[in-house]
């Protein structure tokens, strides 16, 4: 496939040839954004992610040496190990690769040694899932090199388990799924319970997605994430006393919740309300996309942020300020926080002819906590993990 950043790909390919002396295959594995559907994944709900034109690129080829040799070009670091000595290592980035290899091995496959150079242009710390891109890229590469017949979904599951076991992050499946299954000018409506999905058109001819990084680290995200999960589970247990068929908040609706409001603590009621309404927003968002109603889609983004701020309480002052600034800029259709919360980025849907004004206004009215300009990242929706053929 054609890639946008040929300069990066050529550098990775040339570095591979210099280090390992032969001509590799090339693979692209993209990062992702989530347009709407936040914190719904672990409640077996719906999400609406898309793969983007920021990616990790791999040059890779068998080496017949009985070892894996990795070179992380962006870090200028290398790691190698014998094929029969796969295990967690002290080099953090290498664990994303080793963890995926381990999943093939656990499934009874023999993985021959190979050389690999990788790097890319997914900004770190901006919530675009560079780790999922690495995992999906190496899983795709191994499946291709060894002519295995794993489905895309099986490779996604390998990538997710690798992150659990080797990176120590108990992530949901959305990031890996979006990286592998993305399609240009489409978003993915993913059912996080069944893993069924549908593609909905998202015509980027006249719009850009722009991330603005608050510069605030997600310092509270992991502990608060666990608390939110517990609160949602508490809500489900209360509802199950009346409706045994409700297995998760995905199965509930606001009528049921309101009927038993007095049985919940005010906090748990707010959490459950947000999740039920956010699932509804994902459904409505897909309807708006079918009619290309970006104005209504944008309003759903604003509504999502309000719910995350007031009901789920995972926003922060910096995220709220960026959304408030965006609301007052002509040509901004919608804005909300993206990701776990307590920092990170906002995602903004902006008309193409308003992008310059958007960037200027954000820089004029927002300063990061360390006194600098905010990182502004423009993305478009691209294809998922695939071969690169035209460098």
Alpha helices in 183-334 (DSSP H): 221-240, 254-259, 266-290, 294-310, 317-327
CA distance 341 to 27: 31
Cβ neighbours for 58, distance < 8 A, ≥ 6 positions apart? 12, 26, 27, 28, 29, 116, 117, 118, 137, 138, 141
In the numeric block, the tokens 């999740």 are attached to 275
* Strand 25-34 with 49-62, pairing: antiparallel
Cβ(346)–Cβ(337) below 8 Å: yes
Nearest to 59 by CA among 4, 15, 5: 15
Q: Within a 13 Å sphere around the CA of 243, how many CA atoms are in the beta-carbon half?
A: 17
The whole-angstrom separation of Cα 52 and Cα 71 is 24
3-class secondary structure, 318: helix
Residue labelled with tokens 């959490």: 271
41 a catalytic residue: no
Neighbours of 332 (CB within 10 A): 24
Annotated catalytic residue within 41, 175, 251, 383: 175
Residues annotated as catalytic are 175
């Amino acid at each position: 496939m054609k890639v946008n950043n040929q300069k990066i790909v050529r550098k990775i390919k040339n570095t591979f040839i210099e280090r390992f002396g032969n001509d590799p295959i090339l693979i692209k594995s993209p990062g992702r954004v989530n347009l709407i559907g936040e914190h719904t994944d672990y409640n077996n709900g719906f999400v609406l992610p898309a793969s983007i034109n920021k990616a990790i690129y791999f040059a890779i080829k068998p080496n017949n040496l009985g070892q894996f040799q990795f070179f992380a070009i962006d870090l200028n670091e290398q790691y190698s190990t014998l094929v029969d000595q796969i295990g967690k290592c002290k080099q953090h980035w290498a664990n994303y690769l080793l963890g995926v290899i381990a999943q093939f091995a656990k499934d009874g496959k023999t993985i021959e040694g190979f050389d690999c150079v990788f790097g890319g242009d997914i900004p770190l710390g901006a919530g675009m899932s560079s780790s999922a891109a690495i995992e999906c890229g190496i899983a795709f590469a191994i499946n291709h090199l060894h002519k295995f017949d794993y489905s895309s979904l099986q490779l996604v599951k390998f990538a997710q388990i690798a992150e659990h076991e080797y990176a120590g992050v108990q992530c949901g499946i959305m990031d890996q799924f979006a990286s592998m299954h993305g399609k240009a000018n489409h978003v993915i409506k993913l059912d996080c319970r069944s893993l069924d999905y549908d593609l909905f058109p998202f015509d980027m001819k006249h719009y850009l997605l722009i991330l603005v990084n608050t510069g605030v680290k997600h310092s509270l995200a992991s502990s608060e994430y666990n608390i939110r999960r517990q609160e949602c589970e508490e809500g489900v247990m209360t509802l199950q006393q009346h409706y045994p068929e409700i297995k998760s908040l995905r199965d509930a609706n606001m009528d049921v919740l309101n009927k038993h409001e007095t049985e919940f603590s005010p906090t748990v009621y707010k959490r459950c309300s947000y999740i039920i309404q956010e699932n509804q927003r994902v459904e409505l968002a897909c309807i708006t996309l079918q009619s290309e109603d970006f104005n209504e889609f944008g309003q759903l983004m604003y509504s999502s942020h309000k719910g995350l701020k007031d009901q789920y309480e995972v926003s922060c002052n910096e995220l709220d300020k960026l959304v408030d600034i965006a609301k007052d800029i002509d040509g901004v259709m919608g804005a909300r926080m993206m990701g776990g919360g307590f920092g990170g980025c906002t995602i903004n849907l902006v008309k193409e002819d308003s992008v310059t004004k958007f960037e200027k206004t954000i820089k004029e009215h927002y300063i990061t906590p360390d006194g600098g300009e905010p990182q502004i990242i423009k993305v478009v929706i691209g294809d998922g993990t695939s071969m690169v053929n035209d460098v």
